Structure 1
Amino acid sequence: MDIVETLTCRFTLSAATPIDLPGVVGGWASGLAMHKTFTSGLSGQSDLIFLTSGEEETGRGYVAVERIDGTLDDGRSGAFTVHHGAMQTPDDSGQFGNIVPGSGTGDFARFAGSASIQHDDDGPFFVLSLIAS
């Protein structure tokens, strides 16, 4: 599939609240309910559920389901869902992410493609590679 548009959407983490994970005994996994504020490329917010296991120093993995709602710099607006995660070791970020096809509303109704979280000196941001759907 051909990429038809790439969006760069900067965000800050606004809240992270621990959540109970029924059936998880011994602390081998943990969860957070998070809220992000998008500040550039997309103005808006997101809510997500974040599940993780392992240790940052030796290796950990995470998976997240995130609902993003906002307005792009060009005025298009709506909401869509992203599934993303990583298998992180000291030598490899091993990340993955996808926009859930059919999850979009408004101007984002046809959004589909990949999603990756990257970091630079200015902080974290999503790179959304949209494909024709």
Structure 2
Amino acid sequence: MTQQVKGEFDVKRFPEGGLDLGGGVVAGHFRFTKVFHGALDATSVVHMLAVGTQVEGSAGYVAVERINGTLDGRTGSFLTQHNGILDRGTPSLTLTVVPDSGTDELEGLRGKMAIDIVDGKHYYTLDYAFD
């Protein structure tokens, strides 16, 4: 049975220096720290690689995140993978729990997360289930 939790999170970004992709293309590398509030009471570290294109409003990013804390009373950690696209100004994001990455009481966790930014505040919606 799928469950859903929602809440707010705080985020801080730290540039890590660009990564050479060849041909004069450099991916931005950023480290983020997050603090989740609500039914997901956790902290995380994210490493993101981002690229832009010559077309304004088109870009992409990938990231891996380790989330550690409590989800609806269960303690442990899990990994997520982000795939973000900006297609001529239209954003899309797929943020998935990495299968079999849950530890301790979060073992067997599966799910997807959505992120919304409203008036400068960050919100999450996590749809999840356990094997």
Query: Residues 1-133 of structure 1: matches in 2 within 5 Å?
Result: 4-24=2-22, 26-54=24-52, 57-72=56-71, 74-121=72-119, 123-133=121-131
Whole-Å Cα distance in 2 between the matches of residues 103 and 121 of structure 1? 33
Whole-Å Cα distance in 1 between the matches of residues 45 and 127 of structure 2? 21
Distance 1:23-1:122 versus aligned 2 partners, 3 A rule: closer
Structure 1 residue identity aligned to 2:57: T
Q: How far 1:28 sits from its partner (Å)?
A: 3.5
Q: How far 1:25 sits from its partner (Å)?
A: 6.1
Choose 14-23 or 60-69, whichever is displaced more. Answer: 14-23
Whole-Å Cα distance in 2 between the matches of residues 94 and 129 of structure 1? 17
Choose 63-72 or 17-26, whichever is displaced more. Answer: 17-26
Choose 120-129 or 81-90, whichever is displaced more. Answer: 120-129
Task: Output the aligned Cα RMSD.
Answer: 2.4
Which is strand-richer, 1 or 2? 2
5+ long unaligned stretches in structure 1: none
Q: How many percent of aligned residue pairs carry the same amino acid?
A: 28
User: Is contact 2:13–2:30 with CA below 8 Å preserved after alignment?
Assistant: no
Output one character per residue of 1:22-46: Cα deviation in whole Å (capped at 9) or x when no partner.
5556353211122111223322210
Q: How far 1:47 sits from its partner (Å)?
A: 0.6
Whole-Å Cα distance in 2 between the matches of residues 17 and 121 of structure 1? 23
Structure 2 residue identity aligned to 1:112: R
5+ long unaligned stretches in structure 2: none
Structure 2 residue identity aligned to 1:82: T
Q: How far 1:100 sits from its partner (Å)?
A: 0.7
Structure 1 residue identity aligned to 2:66: R
